[in-house]
Amino acid sequence: MLEQKNKSFNSLENSPEMFSQSSLVNQYAELGYFVIRNYFTNDEISALRKVILTFHEKWKKDNETFYREEAFNSSLITGSHYLTQEERIELFNFLSAEKMMKIIDALIPVDPAFMNTQLFFNPVNPQQKDFWHRDCQYDHDIEGQKLAIQETQVLHLRVPLFDELGMELVPETHKRWDNEEEYNVRQEEKGRTSDEALSTGRKIKLSAGDLLVFSADMIHRGLYGLDRLALDVLVFDPSGDFVDYIDDDCLPERSMLNKIENPRIYINSLNLKQM
């Protein structure tokens, strides 16, 4: 199934029956993202939705003011605070299933490591606007951001649990710096604001069951609307210095590893933490 050639490189619309790993790698290298439509079955998404909604309801109660006033995501979903051991194992199994590893291994062939999970939803406050950013801008000054996009590799794998407006991405910015319009909007310079439209943006509508893979450091924004609830898993190339981003509590305990079918990605993270 994977060996069949992708019908059109530029369409970026891959179906589970019609993609090859090498075409996905090429699409990612060229543009910084790709989508596989209907990658997950209804049963897989229903089971995942159940665990994630359990997390989300408890998280919202526990973070009521933050949720009401400014939140648009939560993180640390695999941690022990809101989910039982069984629920966590189910989630660990989904995130490291062969289906996911096929994609992750194609893009990060040597020892890919699990970093974190995030859950994106609509802000309660309608004044909050979706905003352009590169993930690395929260850790680096401008020169550091320029280096980050050349040197490091963090993948977002987005699994929408409901149909959503999706993401808007600026193709190729995983490997190139901002043009003037992008820079002024993203950095809110020269009177521009980060929620303004970018002429280079490409909207990617997503449905439950799709998988969107994109580079964390490309220019992107989530599009608020519909009933969005999207689970993102972040995975990194161990040659980058990201070990401090891993929360111990979000990794499986050693005793859980034998209940996870394919625990390699977590073992890689545990090994990095011990170095």
Positions that interact with ligand AKG (CB under 6 A) = 72, 120, 135, 156, 216, 220, 222, 232
Nearest residue to the partner ligand AKG, using Cβ: 222
Tell me how far, at minimum, the Cβ of 156 lies from ligand AKG, in Å: 5
Do the Cβ atoms of 187 and 140 come closer than 8 Å?
no
Tell me how far, at minimum, the Cβ of 228 lies from ligand AKG, in Å: 7
Q: Between residues 92 and 120, which has the closer beta carbon with respect to ligand AKG? A: 120
Tell me how far, at minimum, the Cβ of 223 lies from ligand AKG, in Å: 7
Tell me how far, at minimum, the Cβ of 232 lies from ligand AKG, in Å: 5
Strands (E), the chain: 13-14, 33-36, 73-75, 113-121, 154-160, 164-169, 202-206, 211-215, 220-222, 229-236
Distance of alpha carbon 242 from alpha carbon 28, whole angstroms: 21
Q: Between residues 131 and 183, which has the closer beta carbon with respect to ligand AKG? A: 131
Q: Between residues 204 and 260, which has the closer beta carbon with respect to ligand AKG? A: 204
Centroid of chain to Cα 65: 25
Of the candidates 254, 234, 273, 229, the residue with the CA atom closest to the CA atom of residue 73: 229
Distance of alpha carbon 22 from alpha carbon 35, whole angstroms: 14
Tell me how far, at minimum, the Cβ of 122 lies from ligand AKG, in Å: 9
Q: Between residues 88 and 186, which has the closer beta carbon with respect to ligand AKG? A: 186
Place of tokens 């406050």: 125
Q: Between residues 34 and 72, which has the closer beta carbon with respect to ligand AKG? A: 72
